[in-house]
Amino acid sequence: MKRIFAVILLFITSQYTIAQDIHRLSPTPPMGWNSWNWYAKRNINEKVVREVIDILSGKEFRGTGYNYVVVDGGWRDTKLGPNGELLIHAERFPNGIKALADYAHSKGLKFGLHTVPGTHDCGGDAVGGFGNEEVQIKQFIAWGVDFIKLDKCRFTPGWDEDVLKDTYVKWSKILKESKSDIVLSISAYKFRDWSKDISNMVRTTSDISPKVGHGAFFDEIPKEFHPYKSVMGIADENNKLAKFAGNGYWNDPDMLVTGAQGLSHEEQKVHFALWCIMTSPLMIGSDLINMTKEEKSILLNRDAIMIDQDPTEQGTRIKVDGDTEIWAKKLKDGRVAALLINRNKSANKNIQLNFSDLGISGKVKVKDVYEKKKLGTHTTSITKSVKPRSGLFILID
Angle of CA points 209, 123, 22, to nearest 5°: 75
Name the residues annotated as catalytic: 151, 207
Region class of 32: left (phi > 0), else alpha (psi between -120 and 50), else beta: left
Strands 147-151, 282-284: pairing is: unpaired
Task: Give CA–CA dist 299/302, Å, rounded.
Answer: 9
On whether the CB atoms of residues 175 and 137 are closer than 8 A, the answer is yes
Residue type at position 92: R
Going by C-alpha positions, the residue among 299, 371, 368 that lies closest to residue 60 is 299
**Is 312 within 8 Å of 330 (Cβ atoms)?**
yes
Among candidate residues 226, 227, 241, 140, the one with its CA nearest the CA of residue 182: 140
Sign of the alpha-carbon torsion through 112, 117, 122, 126: positive
